[in-house]
Amino acid sequence: MLTKRVNFGKSIYIGDHVWYGQEVAILKGSFIASGSTLGAKSVISGTKFSNSIYAGNPSKLIKKINF
């Protein structure tokens, strides 16, 4: 029996110096820029900007850190 593949894979990019808490779920196709922090038990999808803090389900921007 020949079956069609429905759920294709996508790449995940995680930059340098990214901190993430316990049980964070990073979904396919996510882009996490350098210096980001991800809160515990967050669900991460899409693009997350550098030097920012994200948390929640779905994750939301908590704070942008300016240097």
CB atoms within 10 A of CB 23: 8
**pLDDT score of 9 more than 90:** yes
Mean pLDDT of the chain: 94
Distance of alpha carbon 24 from alpha carbon 32, whole angstroms: 13
Predicted structure pTM score: 0.85
| pLDDT for res 17 | 96
pLDDT tens, position by position, 23-66: 999 999 999 999 999 999 999 999 999 999 999 999 999 999 88
Angle, alpha carbons 67-20-65 (nearest 5°): 15
